[in-house]
């Protein structure tokens, strides 16, 4: 069987780097799309042992017209799969709600248009969406007791997402919904030669695959763990649960890679969720397994079930049956993450 040739956007991101690592581990040839030569150089260093399988394309603005044309055409070996994980914005850099909405939709549709126009060999486009496209996260009271599946969509409207400039979360959720919705509409109206697979993970917590030298450069979800559970103190009040569904990036990456090799994934949406995790359980795990955090991680009430009464959940049955997805334990996810974050902190303090 011929080796797969994959174009991977967002390859230097938190999730993208894990996907890249696992693709290379499966002897897949990958073109990694990044925004700058500096980001390409960092990935070259991280994956130096896989140089023969890995090349790069620089796309500074993923939402620009024709952004991916050159990345898709300047190759001796045609692509058969595109995995789109890149987000066209940085959450911290957004200055208006439309900074979320418009680039998110364009960032997705530009990939799809480019594949249709320039890469007729591509048979599948895999898109990393979000649980924010599934559930009304801004109204968790409305989520009480519900077990979400791939059939569910966040009911937020475009107007609701853009109208309140003080509510960036609504815009973020809307951007995820409408970007994924645009992909399915493209499939329906444009009838391309490729099929589509989407993934809608909730909070993604776990170790980093790519090199991060400063705590300030952490992705948002892992920064939450560092800020609230590591860079804290045992007497601090336990953080609120927030979105208490999660998955490990390595398991999410495995689902993406499985979709490359699984014909039955065609035109399906997959919810990837390891389960529920409360702030109390995160604290209990870290305090039990990482001695260095004895004075740093909030104690709370050890052993208490701090999830709300009748909590919401998510079913990953489809991913388990079609893609063979399995999940790591919460202990493995959070202990390995905490130890890595402590190491990053230590190196930064030593100036290395």
Chain segment 215-230, per-residue pLDDT in tens: 999 999 999 999 999 9
Q: Exposed, middle or buried, 121 (CB in 10 Å: 0-12/13-18/19+)? A: middle
Split at pLDDT 50, 70, 90, the class of 167 is: confident
Please say whether the beta carbons of 255 and 204 come within 8 A. no
d(CA 15, CA 74): 25
Q: In the structure encoding, which two tokens stand for residue 2, read together?
A: 């011929």
Q: Which residues pair with 124 in a beta bridge?
A: 81, 195
State the DSSP code for 2: P
> Rounded to whole angstroms, what are the CA distances from 30 to 6, 27, 251, 322?
5, 9, 20, 24
Each residue's pLDDT tens digit, 252-292: 999 999 999 999 999 999 999 999 999 999 999 999 999 99
Residue 28: pLDDT above 80?
yes
At residue 57, the pLDDT reads 96
pLDDT-derived band at 1 (thresholds 50, 70, 90) equals: low
Q: Is residue 91 pLDDT above 70, yes or no? A: no
Spatial neighbors of 21 by CB under 8 A, at least 6 apart, are: 47, 209, 253
Task: Give bridge partners of residue 123 from the DSSP assignment.
Answer: none
Mean pLDDT to the nearest integer, 102-124: 94
Averaged pLDDT for residues 111-116: 96
Averaged over 28-50, what is the pLDDT? 96
Share the mean pLDDT of the chain. 94
Average of per-residue pLDDT across 226-244:
96
Query: What is the Cα–Cα distance from 251 to 18, expressed in whole angstroms?
Result: 9
Is the pLDDT confidence value at 117 over 60? yes
N-terminal to C-terminal alpha carbon distance within the chain: 45
The candidate with the shortest Cα–Cα distance to 200, out of 261, 154, 238, 258, is 154
Q: Above 90 in pLDDT, residue 104?
A: no
Classified as helix, coil or strand, 104 is helix
Q: Is this prediction's pTM over 0.75?
A: yes
103 pLDDT exceeds 90? no
Return the percentage of the chain with pLDDT > 70, whole number. 97
């Amino acid at each position: 069987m011929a080796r797969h040739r994959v174009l991977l956007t967002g390859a230097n991101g938190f999730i993208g780097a894990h996907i890249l690592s696992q693709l290379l581990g499966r002897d897949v040839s990958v073109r990694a799309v990044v925004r700058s030569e500096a980001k390409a150089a960092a990935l070259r260093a991280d994956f130096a042992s896989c140089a023969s399988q890995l090349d790069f394309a620089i796309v500074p603005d993923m939402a620009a017209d024709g952004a991916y044309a050159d990345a898709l055409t300047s190759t001796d070996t045609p692509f058969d799969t595109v995995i789109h994980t890149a987000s066209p914005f940085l959450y911290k850099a957004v200055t208006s709600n439309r900074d979320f909405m418009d680039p998110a939709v364009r960032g997705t549709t530009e990939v799809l248009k480019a594949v249709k126009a320039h890469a007729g060999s591509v048979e599948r486009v895999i898109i990393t969406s979000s649980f924010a496209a599934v559930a009304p996260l801004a109204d968790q009271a409305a989520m009480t007791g519900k077990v979400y599946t791939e059939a569910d969509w966040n009911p937020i409207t475009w107007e609701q997402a853009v109208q309140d400039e003080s509510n960036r979360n609504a815009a973020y959720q809307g951007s995820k919904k409408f970007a994924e919705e645009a992909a399915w509409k493209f499939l329906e109206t444009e009838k391309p030669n490729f099929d589509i697979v989407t993934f809608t993970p909730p909070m993604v917590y776990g170790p980093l695959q790519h090199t991060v030298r400063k705590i300030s450069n952490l992705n948002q979800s892992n920064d939450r763990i560092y800020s609230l559970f590591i860079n804290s103190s045992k007497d601090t009040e336990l953080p609120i649960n927030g979105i208490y569904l999660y998955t490990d990036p390595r398991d999410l990456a495995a689902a993406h890679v499985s979709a490359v090799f699984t014909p039955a994934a065609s035109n399906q949406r997959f919810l990837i969720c390891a389960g529920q995790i409360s702030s109390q359980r995160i604290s209990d795990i870290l305090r039990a397994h990482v001695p260095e955090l004895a004075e740093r991680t909030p104690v709370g009430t050890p052993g208490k079930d701090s999830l709300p009464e009748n909590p919401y959940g998510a079913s990953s049955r489809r991913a388990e049956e079609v893609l063979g997805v399995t999940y790591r334990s919460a202990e493995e996810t959070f202990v390995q993450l905490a130890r890595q974050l402590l190491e990053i902190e230590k190196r930064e303090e030593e100036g290395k």
